[in-house]
Amino acid sequence: MRAWYTFTYVLWMIGEIVKGSFAVAAGVYSPRTRSSPAIVEYPLRATTDLEIIAMASSITITPGTLVVGTAHGTLEEGPSLFVHVLFAESREQVVEDLREMEQRLLRASRGKGGAEAALLPRRSRSAADERFADGRAVRRIRAAGHRTGPGGRSGAGGRSVPGGTSHEQPREQEEDER
């Protein structure tokens, strides 16, 4: 089943490359300036490195679009791509086009069910969310009385030590050493 979705994605990408080529050629050879460039932040639903790389590569090989930057995801928000678009009708149209590309890509990489699940609205996630492997480690560190997150780094320089222990010195001792 995924092979079929991969095949249709490749055919669709070829069509997008041809359409983009004609749009760029028309923009270059037109006596009037037809471009309306924009940089749009696109929040990704893709989660694996392979999916993110495939999405960024698909955008970049399409004429008239280029990925100019990425933002790593946090526990609350997923990763984002910053996309330069040469012929942007509107931000909403660009995001809709990128969403279609990503949905087709996710269908090729995960199958239909995985792609549909990825496109559901994100729910707010906490650091202790059990769906994430690091959730148990964060709960164990907090249970041991150590702080986590920005401003309250855990362990030695923000790294937790296996077994829930830490190399953190008491606050009074840290202040005396300064």
Is 22's pLDDT higher than 50?
yes
Contact 147, 154 (CB under 8 A): yes
Residue 134: pLDDT over 80: no
Q: What are the tokens at 17? A: 């490359």
Element (H, E) at 121: none
Question: Comparing C-alpha atoms, which of 44, 3, 60 is closest to residue 11?
Answer: 3
Please give the pLDDT value at position 145.
Answer: 57
Where residue 135 falls among pLDDT bands split at 50, 70, 90? Answer: very low
Residues whose CB falls within 8 Å of the CB of residue 164, separated by 6 or more in sequence, listed in order: 140, 141, 143, 144
Answer whether 0.85 is exceeded by the pTM: no
Q: Residue 38 corresponds to which tokens in the numbers above? A: 């924009």
Residue count of the chain, please give it: 178
Q: How much is the pLDDT for 160?
A: 41
Per-residue pLDDT for 116 more than 60? yes
Q: State phi, psi for 168 to the nearest 5 degrees.
A: -75, 135
CA distance linking residue 27 with residue 34, whole number of Å:
6
Dihedral sign, Cα of residue 164, residue 169, residue 170, residue 174: negative
Q: What 3-state DSSP class applies to 62?
A: coil
The pLDDT score that the predictor gives to residue 31 is 84
What average pLDDT does range 46-50 have in this prediction? 88
Distance CA(20)–CA(27), nearest Å, equals 10
Question: Percentage of residues in the chain with pLDDT exceeding 70?
Answer: 63
Q: What is the pLDDT of residue 119?
A: 56
